[in-house]
Amino acid sequence: MPVEEIEKAAPQKELIQNHIGRILSRYQQLLAEYNSTFAVVLKQSERASKDPDGAIVFRRDFSKERMLFEDATALLFGANSNCHKALKESIKLFEQAPMLLEKYIEACQPHLERIKLLWQEIDELRKEYDACPTQSCKDAVNAKIRQKHYEIEQEEYELCLHNKDFHGTNIRWNTKHTNCSILLLKRLCQIIMHLPILFLKKFIRPVTTS
């Protein structure tokens, strides 16, 4: 994904997480309604079995709808689903984060130490420059100072390369995590659209007595 698209997608992360939170909350509410409605159906069935002549009950255990719900859940969130694979990959990447950070620090440390040493050498050369009795001496010392600055620039360039690799990897991980969140959001929307609770009440008939 181009850097421009990643930067545009970054502000959407919080919005996506808020949507996921609302969907999960709605899912819990629907599940509670499902359990409550199913309890009513069971109660009606029990009443009908005790007094079949005094009750009119629509006999239905919603086994087909429950089976469809379970199949949809397995398809959308099961071990072979894209969502599960994305989550598994995301978790694997986050588990590698400490190793990546340690590798980054180890790669940068020699360059940082070298830069520190070069600045110390420059300080010594500046003292030597101030103590030079002739212009030719100063020119020679000044050439050494310029060489040290060049070496510092080379070390800083190597640090930039390590920073680029490190932050590039972080961006790729964050992008995959965002894509996983978007995928999860889509799957939750799909499963809510197919929840049996959305049409459970259509099949329930009130209990009446003679």
Domain annotation covers residue 210: no
Which of 10-14, 84-88, 105-109, 130-134 is predicted with the least confidence, judged by mean pLDDT?
10-14
Looking at every residue in the chain, the average pLDDT score rounds to 75
Helices (H) and strands (E) in the chain, counts: 7, 0
pLDDT band, very low/low/confident/very high, at 62 (cuts 50, 70, 90): low
Report if residue 150 sits inside a domain: yes
Does this model's pTM top 0.85? My answer is no
Residue 30 placed within a domain: yes
- Domain assignment present for residue 123? The answer is yes
- Domain-located, residue 130: yes
Q: What is the pLDDT of residue 118?
A: 94
Whether 44 contacts 62, CB under 8 Å: no
Establish if 105 belongs to a structural domain.
yes
184 occurs within a structural domain: yes
- List the one residue out of 197, 192, 198 whose CA is nearest residue 26: 192
- What percent of the chain stands above pLDDT 90? 24
Question: Is residue 4 scored above 60 in pLDDT?
Answer: no
pLDDT, greater one: 168 or 158: 158
How many folded domains does the chain comprise?
1
Pick 100 or 202 by higher pLDDT: 100
Position 155 pLDDT exceeds 50: yes
**109: in domain:** yes
Look up the domain containing 189 and give its range: 3-203
Give residue-wise pLDDT tens across range 90-128: 677 677 778 888 888 888 999 999 999 999 999 999 999
Could you tell me the two tokens for 21?
């939170």
Q: Is 209 exposed, middle or buried (0-12, 13-18, 19+ CB in 10 A)?
A: exposed
Q: Please, is 169 exposed, middle or buried when counting C-beta atoms within 10 Å of its C-beta (0-12, 13-18, 19+)?
A: middle
CB environment 89-118: b (16+ within 10 A), e (fewer):
ebeebeeeeeeeeeebeebeeebeebbeeb
What's the pLDDT score for residue 174? Answer: 72
pLDDT at 5 over 60: no
Report the chain's C-alpha Rg in angstroms: 34
